[in-house]
């Protein structure tokens, strides 16, 4: 589902993706201006990660770290909710 949406949004050609990625990064460095924002720099790296292995490895490494952190947080939350329910029932 997500892949279909991403393929529609990103340019189909490699040169198009590189241009869009570089423009987003430049726009991110100009984030202090009213229309542009600092959110553009990470988005530019994400677009470039499709074509450049070094950026792809960087993205994948952090994606895995974020996923592990999220799973740990989720399981800890479930454990604490279960303990709270048991305490209130007593």
Rounded to whole angstroms, what are the CA distances from 13 to 10, 41, 68?
A: 9, 21, 33
Whole-angstrom Cα distance, residue 75 to residue 68?
A: 11
Cα separation, 24 vs 43, in Å, equals 7
| Claim: this prediction has a pTM higher than 0.85 | no
CA dist 53 and 86 (Å) reads: 49
pLDDT tens figures, 62-73: 889 999 999 999
Q: What single-letter DSSP state applies at residue 88?
A: H
Contact 23, 44 (CB under 8 A): yes
**Model pLDDT for residues 37-67, shown as the tens digit of each residue:** 888 888 888 888 888 888 888 888 988 999 9
């Amino acid at each position: 589902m997500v892949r279909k949406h991403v393929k529609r949004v990103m340019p189909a050609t490699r040169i198009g993706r590189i241009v869009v990625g570089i423009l987003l990064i430049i726009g991110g460095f100009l984030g202090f201006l009213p229309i542009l924002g600092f959110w553009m720099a990470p988005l530019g790296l994400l677009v470039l990660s499709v074509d450049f292995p070094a950026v792809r490895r960087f993205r994948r490494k952090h994606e895995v770290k974020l996923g592990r952190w999220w799973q740990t947080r989720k399981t800890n939350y479930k454990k604490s909710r279960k303990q709270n329910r048991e305490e209130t029932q007593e």
